[in-house]
Amino acid sequence: MANIEIKQLEKTYTDAKGRQTRVLDSIDLTVSGDTFVSIVGPSGSGKTTLLNIVSGIESATSGSVSLREGGRDAKVGYVFQDPRLLPWRTVMQNLSFVQDDRSDWEVRARHYLELVGLGHLGDRFPAQLSGGQQQRIGIARAFSVEPDILLMDEPFSHLDAMTSRSLREHLEQIWLQSRKTVLFVTHDITEAVQLSDRIIVLAPGGRIHETIEVDLPRPRRASDPRVAVLQAEVLARFEALEAAA
Amino acid sequence: MTNTLRDSPAISNPVPVTGKAPGRFVGKGTSILAGLLSLLSIWVVWEIARLWGGRLPSLAETLARLGTEWAGNEIWINFAVSINRFVLGLVLALVVGAILGVAIGLSKFAEAALSDLTMVGLAAPAVIWALLTTMWFGFGWLTPVVTVFLSGLPFVVVNIAKAVRAVPGDLILMARAFEVPRVRGLSQIIAPAVAGSAIAAVRFAVISAWNGLLLAEWFGSTSGVGWRSRYWYDANQMDGFLAWVLLFMAFLVLVDQILLAPIERRATRWRRV
Ligand SMILES: Nc1ncnc2c1ncn2[C@@H]1O[C@H](COP(=O)(O)OP(=O)(O)O)[C@@H](O)[C@H]1O
Ligand SMILES: [Mg+2]
């Protein structure tokens, strides 16, 4: 069971003139087991920075992040806001690129390509795919390393409503099957309510404003009245937060 | 790996994406045709030029002179000497240019310090370097080698700097997030990203450096292909002079089109899928 422990995390950027901007402010967050956690917040509230620090591609100014699975370091998969595929490699080669366990990667890669509905496109180059298909490859890539912890940064935000709705359903299904610890960044409250066990609201300035537990049965339909009620409630709190800012 | 992909029945690809798309054959046919046409047009221009002054030898006379040069071993001897100097100067230009190019690509300071100098280098015609080195080093091996180096260098610097700037930072972060080994990142992100500009660096440097070499040998040498064409010029033998001009051009076209252009096409093939 994977375990994320973030303690007193701070991030400050210093610009060329020496001015400091605080982007994340005393973040404390513990997630354990196969919990789906969404992070919502207005744009610029530090959501991407938080995921980048958790994934290790950016460093924190202070505080600590620990990602553990059993007695070892947890393996991380990251779905970025943009697909970030190697344009000079085919889809299968892109999936191959991130594998550390070389033995049966092809089986896994194919499995997750099938799951995102693109099993037949393994030989294509990214430029031969639509934006939605590329993003799905990015999702398959993150799942194909069989991570203990999955980070997703607004993975559907560049897609049209139809595509993102179907991908959201895909994601919920895959997650129900494979059960991982997920940190999912979104600015879409509907999405957050539909997918999460817990919603963390980041305020401008990068503080955790509040944490909302979502205890609804799965799979959830956007048309489910209980989902709609919770959505309205979270939305109201979110609007209050934005108005205060 | 590619083979296992292609053999797999799971992938029945509706669109041919790799290897020989039907367009390739048409491309090859037209390029041969274009080559023949350009040879023909050289001959036509030549014949038109012969209408004036009456001193220009015919193409046949020129080719006959090429035959006697061949028989007298002049072609091999002079090309051997020249290519020796050419390779030496070019390798120096590539090594030094790569170092400067990487510095300019990575550091704002290096860019500010070196970019005006590079512009001057790009703008200076090779004949300036040839005359300068002749006065500087006299009739030795240094004159052509330094000219080759100086006329090739700016093109290497500019294109390598461009290559370095083309390194996709977001893909490198992606690789780091997935803990991809460094060597794999180097070979699958950096190398393909910089390949196009790196090969362009070599192609432009070769063309410019070859011009520099000819001029340097013309003014400041007693051997080599540039010197040999001057020999016929001084003897007032236009067929000999033109025979060597044809050779220079043929050599450059061959090196570029048969060696470098296919490498560049290969390295940038993914752009044309
Ligand atoms: N490399 C950087 N240098 C300076 N400021 C940055 C950098 N990256 C992000 N920021 C700033 O940090 C804040 C949070 O950015 P980000 O984490 O991308 O927000 P979000 O993903 O919530 O929209 C923004 O105000 C942004 O301008
Ligand atoms: Mg963001």
Give pLDDT tens digits for B117-163. Answer: 888 888 888 899 999 999 999 898 999 999 999 999 999 999 999 88
Q: What number is the average pLDDT over the span A226-235?
A: 89
The angle subtended at Cα B208 by Cα B206 and Cα B209, nearest 5°, is 65
3-state secondary structure of B141: coil
| C-alpha span between B150 and B122 (Å, rounded) | 10
Residue of chain B whose alpha carbon sits nearest to that of A152: B177
Q: Is the model more confident about B267 or about B77?
A: B77
Q: How high is the pLDDT of residue B270?
A: 82
Mean pLDDT on A194-215: 93
Residue B4 pLDDT more than 80?
no
Q: Label residue B27 by pLDDT band (50, 70, 90).
A: low
Selected residues 42-71 of chain A with any CB under 8 Å from a CB in chain B: 52, 55-57
A206 ligand 1 Cβ < 6 A: no
Using the predicted structure, report yes or no on whether residue B18 has a pLDDT greater than 60: no
The pLDDT-based confidence of B23 (bands split at 50, 70, 90) is very low
- pLDDT, residue B52, reads 83
pLDDT at A53 (0 to 100): 97
Residue A204 CB burial class (10 angstroms; 0-12, 13-18, ≥19)? middle
The residue whose CA is least distant from atom 13 of ligand 1 is A44
Beta-carbon contacts of residue B133 (< 8 Å; ≥ 6 apart): B142, B143, B144, B146, B147, B150, B216, B220
Atom 5 (ligand 1) nearest CA: A13
Cα(A7)–Cα(A128) distance, rounded to whole angstroms?
43
ipTM: 0.92
A44 lines ligand 1 (CB under 6 A): yes
Mean pLDDT of chain B: 85
Asked if A92 has any chain B CB less than 8 Å from its own CB, the reply is yes
Distance A187 CA to ligand 2 centre (A): 9
Cis ω before A219 (30° cut-off from 0):
yes
DSSP code string of B73-129 = THHHHHHHHHHHHHHHHHHHHHHHHHHHHHHHHH-HHHHHHHHHHHHHHHHS-HHHH
> Rounded to an integer, what distance in angstroms lies between the CA atom of residue B12 and that of residue B5?
10
pLDDT mean over B218-243: 92
Domain boundaries, chain B: 20-56, 57-272
Quote the CA–CA distance of B124 and B117 in Å, as a whole number: 11
- Tell me the pLDDT band of B7, cut-offs 50, 70 and 90: very low
Band of pLDDT at residue A237, cut at 50, 70 and 90: confident
Q: Lowest-confidence range among A7-21, A51-65, A86-100, B252-266? A: B252-266
B240: closest CA among B229, B225, B251?
B229
Higher pLDDT, A245 or A151: A151
Q: How many Å apart are CA B190 and CA B167, to the nearest integer?
A: 6
Q: Which of B12, B171, B273 sits opposite A86 (nearest CB)?
A: B171
Q: What is the largest CA-CA distance in chain A?
A: 53
Q: Is the dihedral of CA A149, A153, A154, A155 positive or negative?
A: negative
Identify the pLDDT of residue B114.
87
Range from A7-16, A221-230, A233-242, B259-268 that averages highest in pLDDT: A7-16
Confidence of residue B1 (pLDDT cuts 50, 70, 90): very low
B273, pLDDT greater than 80: no
Question: Which has the higher per-residue pLDDT, A169 or A67?
Answer: A67
Q: Are A119 and A113 in contact (CB under 8 A)?
A: yes
Between residues A198 and B42, the one the model is more confident about: A198
pLDDT over 50 (residue B87): yes
* Cα B238 from Cα A29, distance rounded (Å): 85
The span from the CA of A242 to the CA of A244, in Å, is: 5
- Pairwise CA distance, residues A150 & A146, whole Å: 9
pLDDT of A146-155, one tens digit each?
Answer: 999 999 999 9
Three-class SS state of A77 = strand
pLDDT surpasses 70 at B236? yes
> At residue A139, does pLDDT exceed 70?
yes
Q: What confidence score (pLDDT) does residue B19 get?
A: 39
* Residue-wise pLDDT tens digits, A148-175: 999 999 999 888 888 888 888 888 888 8
CB contact B236 to A (< 8 Å)? no
For ligand 1, atom 9: residue with the closest CA: A49
> pLDDT value at position B28?
63
Q: Is the pLDDT of residue B214 over 50?
A: yes
- A82 alpha carbon – ligand 1 mean position (Å): 16
What gap in Å lies between CA A78 and CA A150, rounded to an integer?
Answer: 6
Tell the residue number behind the tokens 């300035």, with chain if given: A205
Rounded Cα distance between A74 and A133, Å, is: 28
> For chain A, what is the mean pLDDT?
91
Residue B113 structure tokens: 């310090």
Fold of B57-272: MetI-like fold (1.10.3720)
Query: What pLDDT score does B5 carry?
Result: 33
Give chain A's end-to-end CA distance (angstroms, integer). Answer: 38
Strand, helix or coil for residue A30: strand
Tokens of B116: 């005006």
Position B20 pLDDT exceeds 70? no
Is the torsion defined by CA of A14, A22, A154, A106 positive or negative?
positive
For A98-132, write each residue's pLDDT tens digit.
998 778 899 999 999 998 889 999 999 999 999 98
CA-nearest residue to B15 within chain A is A124
> Reduced to 3 states, what is the DSSP secondary structure of residue A217?
coil
**pLDDT-derived band at B6, boundaries 50, 70, 90:** very low
Q: Which pLDDT value is given to residue B258?
A: 87
| Complete DSSP assignment for B179-227 | T--HHHHIIIIIHHHHHHHHHHHHHHHHHHHHHHHHHHHHHH-SSSHHH
Percentage of chain B lying above the pLDDT 90 cut: 45
Q: Is the pLDDT of residue B3 over 50?
A: no
CA dist A125 and A134 (Å) reads 10
Q: State mean pLDDT over B185-211.
A: 90
